[in-house]
Structure 1
């Protein structure tokens, strides 16, 4: 007993903190799983629709067939994580209300991130993490292919439900990023009459841009199985194709969160096709991607590093890039100059000219 006590006394405060910290990684999947459960149960949607905090019995009735004790434990965890908050009604009854985080979980909310979390927590996207260690060796197989036998795009083309979930998740990001672009780069489309969104998914991003800049005419360009089911949007034409082969002509090519899915050589090929699609005089390519800064701190720095690991797990050669990486890729793609504009989002805006 004395030997055990002596060894415990020799443990530094730093080691004690490490013992606390390591549990976050041991059970790192729990938060995702619990929040997915809250989305599946529609808890944020129910409180939003009620227009006021809801008591546990009210949530129990509204969620149908839940266990009272399990629902209580679920809400206790979510309150502890500040996903929801406890409030008291005028007669002192404990109720649950939305926080800024849970407002992002309202499925059809203006800034909803629910579909993105449902995508990343889906069995399809979780499976590659079990093969992640195998993709790190030089001769290793990409994790997604190891798990599913095809790459993420091949899988999506054969699974319309998963393809729709990917597009809904990208639309979630658009609803957060486009307002940041409009605020921090308001003159981005000055002098531009036509724009092609390269890899634009279901057209959410382009729809927001043409609404903000009414003079714009947009072409939403994505794979045929994506473009063919995209919803009708005023001033937007959906076109299916392959951006490695040809990109529709426009004054500006807009590429958001597509280049990070690919390795450097593929990125260079895509950007060369973008360059071919725009006028030599006055044309430009607008890239919206993360720019990793390994020195300076930033509120989204941790998310950018996490996304880099997601690219490693879910794509064959995709990655997040540093400023130097982007400079090299744009130079190899034949652009004469570029400027990086920070915005309050995970991504930055990179404008490149022929």
Structure 2
């Protein structure tokens, strides 16, 4: 058995070391000011800082950047100082220029509002007023008194989205951010999951971004983007993809494979089983399969041993997002996935990690 740091008094009492106490006094501020990073990054996206530096084509001075954005230099400097400190933008000192120049980093380029690598809309969705308001009701959710999103906004997230086109568009754009990054990673590392498949139906496919990228990477596949009618009415036009409006709780269009990415984590076990049963009805008994792209969280989470967030940790964050924003959604362990798959009629499955993604690919087979 390995040694455990700290002074033990009894089996259940751990007396922190002086070093641990000192570290704790610093670490607590990460939670006191945890919201600040998201708020400033949202500010950067809304101002278009990354877009302006990118379009400039070279490092840019504070005066040029603030002038282009219509910002007061003395307050804008403080925003840039924070973003540089967090490693989002880079500060370059040049003797030929008074002050400093700002340039992009790999991280800041993800904040450009358009492009295949942009994650800006996902930040804007999760920092929007309806989504942020839910977090104030998280403790009420744990005590069982109410669902946070519904308590904050008067109706569940799906009803609210259907009634608010602006929020619906924001969700579609945010899911498209995730789809572009994740489908690219799947095609790069797990392309063989689509071997022998002629048609794929993307269940809950939003504006069709995932299917667009999948068909582009696998031209032999015919894609079906399936979502609620009001969602597919604004879907992208793409060769090789047809859009069908409907409700996945009622039926799923016929295809060789059903593809579900970031869908099942929105729902409780009973709803997941119902959706998967509809998928089972839609695919061939002998060669069909369901391809699920979701997080698989560890049954026994390990403590964070360093400050940097790791991909394997994101599932725990997403689980809290599901608790705040959905009535019954959750991230699942492999044991929990096995349960819903078995109940839905999928006794056999494979699980593969996706390089560079917090998600895994779960291939589930009806026989």
Check whether TM > 0.5. Answer: yes
- In structure 2, the residue matched to 1:51 is 57
1:352 counterpart residue number: 364
Decide which moves more: 80-89 or 281-290. Answer: 80-89
Quote the Cα distance in structure 2 between the aligned partners of 1:262 and 1:295.
Answer: 22
What displacement does 1:294 show?
Answer: 3.8
Select 1:245's aligned residue among 250, 259, 263.
Answer: 250
1:1-354 superposed matches below 5 A: 12-64=18-70, 66-89=71-94, 91-93=96-98, 94-137=100-143, 139-295=144-300, 299-344=310-355, 345-354=357-366
Deviation of 1:33 (Å): 0.5
Q: CA deviation at 1:295?
A: 4.6
The C-alpha deviation readout for 1:197-241, integer Å capped at 9, x for no partner, is: 000000000000001110111110011110111121111111111
For residues 226 and 145 of structure 2, the distance between their equivalents in structure 1, rounded to whole angstroms, comes to 32
Structure 1, 213-222 or 11-20: larger mean CA deviation: 11-20
**Are the counterparts in 1 of residues 209 and 236 from structure 2 also a CA contact under 8 Å?**
no
Structure 2: distance between partners of 1:54 and 1:268? 54
Deviates more, 1:13-22 or 1:155-164: 13-22
Q: CA deviation at 1:45?
A: 0.2
1:67-89 deviation digits (Å, cap 9, x = unpaired): 21110000000000001010134
Does the Cα contact within 8 Å between 1:120 and 1:126 map onto a contact in 2?
yes
Contact 1:254 1:285 in 2 (8 A): yes
CA shift for structure 1 position 336: 2.6
Q: Assess, with a 3 A threshold, how the Cα gap between structure 1 residues 145 and 44 changes in structure 2: closer, same or farther.
A: same
SS of 2:358's equivalent in the other structure is coil
TM-score (norm 1): 0.94
Are the counterparts in 1 of residues 200 and 222 from structure 2 also a CA contact under 8 Å?
yes
Displacement of 1:110: 1.9
Q: Return the offset for 1:15.
A: 1.3
Deviation at 1:132, TM superposition (A): 1.3
In the superposition, the TM-score normalised over structure 2's length comes to 0.91
Structure-2 separation of matches of 1:84 and 1:57:
16
Q: Please, which runs of 5 or more residues in structure 2 have no aligned partner?
A: 1-15, 303-308
Q: Which runs of 5+ in 1 are unaligned?
A: 1-9
Q: CA RMSD in A?
A: 1.5
